[in-house]
Structure 1
């Protein structure tokens, strides 16, 4: 897959977007996430325990970190 990055001056943005629409070009934002990172998240989800969770109302009052007084 090829990736094209364009820098468009602010003054020309509306013209550029109109041109893209006229040409029928589709713009898609894709985020590539490495399989290793996906595996880490899946593992964390699978091993999560209910007792490790804190309700949002409590969590937003004061941030704390496990193992740090």
Structure 2
């Protein structure tokens, strides 16, 4: 799946665009998704926002093998 982030004039992500084919696949895998009504707490949104910002920082990205070595 390829998602496109939609940003406002200040560069803040305000939405996500996915293809209709991807949306149909999601609905097949999660049939109740359109009736799912749950608001994330603000602290979880803040964590996600920080992680999204880190994606733009190449120094924050490391090969998965490095992470596995660290865990071991």
Larger radius of gyration: 1
- TM category, shorter: 0.3 to 0.5
Structure-1-length-normalised TM-score: 0.33
TM-score (norm. length: structure 2): 0.32
